[in-house]
Structure 1
């Protein structure tokens, strides 16, 4: 269903990642992890792309999506949006969702692929669900970690949420993992991985690699949910 909405706020999540927060249309409902299509005008033409909703249904006053600024045509059109501008959204879509169906879940994410998992973690935290969640989140550098403080606050208030960060290029003072998510990290941080349903999201190559690693650990395909993010 299509809705027209107004941009309320823009926030930088990293040096090149922005969140666009819009007024939540009346009657608009969605599940954590779903996505929406965004239509914007660019040089007099309309362009339409899909983005995961990074807000949670528990955040009642707004709906938000988060985008890495790539310099592509559509990305530039979004970057040009100002508070007060109107856009059309077509939503909700997608089955990469979670509302408490499983007692234990594992999350494997890279880069901007964190957005649906942030929505799910926020939902579980706000609803005080007893689902045990372990999130492994990889990025190139510390400055690339989107929602870093948000995830830290959620972990502090939700005893069932564990967030593990890893970066490929560590600088002085970094105390987390260095390197990409691999089988050894999963075995060390998610010791009961055989008992969990996995949600993995990120760039297509990363998602394929995570699937292969999980299968090498004898996690069946039925227990792996995936969402790939292509850049534009």
Structure 2
């Protein structure tokens, strides 16, 4: 309306050089039109090293699907850092992330976040989501790989009387097992959920609990899986966890899985799939604007090299998806650690999270 546009022009004149939105941000931290934000509403300790952070997003947030992830920004020592985290809350609820204290950013979030803190947000992404049509499911997870699957379970099991879900979760000990009590309560309440915990350390569960195995879940053969979920071949399977866990699961399904395409395996990785032997010789990386250098081995990403020597590097997913880490190449060649391809011309935008130095490299950062 003309009147509203006129009021906005007057407000802009009165607040210059700031905008009216800048002043609104002092009252409501979610009112910014420049950057999507969320305010922390609850903080829950899950394990000694893991914390769930619930937040209320501001305008512009798209409701997440169960299993998706989002980029989360947090200011540390005056510098905004971005990381990608799976959303652990059920679809249709305010979002939450469950963070394990590994690395500078995750440790700051897990140990120092308090109610009322403001997080910077990007919209939910990812296709690690529930199947379109109901069918028996197998969820195979390890460590923090349970996080996106927990969103699926919280979404599906309480809402669908016909749910048929078997969860096999591997953790080091009972104390390290995310959402342990909640999962057992859900399994008691809803017959459509069966939970099998697998602990990899001796004595990791109370005597008689039948859950302490003292070794890693073996996915090189079908023996362990057959004992935990005899009809695993007939289920649509989802797996999330460390890279070697997912590699073994992928090989198992390719070798011994069913021919039915609907009973295949869908995986979610927290790190890029790197081609073995693509490291090469590495080289001296010069971060020109930061006036820093780092002699990087051939298997160390440019992102890790920069952070190692104190350069504030843009980043997001850290696995070659979101392209938030794009940095101009001034000189030199880089090697894509996923394919082994050597590439690079002056002025190219380089994904620093998946490329390493292939000889001397100069970056415009």
Query: Structure 1 length normalisation: TM-score?
Result: 0.90
Equivalent in the alignment of 1:81: 113
Change (3 A) 1:221 1:206: farther
What secondary structure sits across from 2:63 in the alignment? coil
Structure 1 position 33 matched with structure 2 position 67:
yes
The question of whether the paired residues in 2 share the 8 Å contact of 1:12 and 1:18 is answered with yes
Q: Greater CA deviation, 2-11 or 18-27?
A: 18-27
Alignment of 1:84-103 (within 5 A): 84-98=116-130, 101-103=133-135
What secondary structure sits across from 2:62 in the alignment? coil
- In the TM superposition, what whole-angstrom CA distance separates every residue of 1:163-196 from its partner, at most 9, and x where no partner exists? 1001011324242151332321211222222211
Structure 1 position 69 matched with structure 2 position 101:
yes
Higher strand share: 1
Change (3 A) 1:167 1:221: farther
> Would you say how many aligned residue pairs link Structure 1 and Structure 2?
229
How far apart, CA to CA, are the structure 1 residues paired with 2:132 and 2:47?
29
Alignment of 1:1-232 (within 5 A): 3-25=36-58, 28-58=62-92, 60=93, 62-70=94-102, 72-78=103-109, 79-98=111-130, 101-171=133-203, 172-173=206-207, 174-178=209-213, 179-182=215-218, 183-219=222-258, 222=261, 223-230=264-271
- In the TM superposition, what whole-angstrom CA distance separates every residue of 1:55-102 from its partner, at most 9, and x where no partner exists? 0114x3x311001101x2212331322211111111210000016524
Q: How far is 1:129 from its partner?
A: 4.5
The question of whether the paired residues in 2 share the 8 Å contact of 1:32 and 1:99 is answered with no
How far apart, CA to CA, are the structure 2 residues paired with 1:103 and 1:138?
23
Q: How far is 1:107 from its partner?
A: 1.0
How far apart, CA to CA, are the structure 1 residues paired with 2:241 and 2:186?
21
Equivalent in the alignment of 2:288: none
Asked which structure has the greater CA Rg, the reply is 2
Structure 1's unaligned 5+ residue stretches are none
RMSD of aligned alpha carbons: 2.3
How far apart, CA to CA, are the structure 2 residues paired with 1:10 and 1:33?
20
Considering Cα pairs closer than 8 Å and 6+ residues apart, tell me whether 1 or 2 has the greater RCO: 1
How far apart, CA to CA, are the structure 2 residues paired with 1:4 and 1:24?
6
What secondary structure sits across from 2:175 in the alignment? helix
Query: Structure 2 length normalisation: TM-score?
Result: 0.59
What secondary structure sits across from 1:19 in the alignment? strand
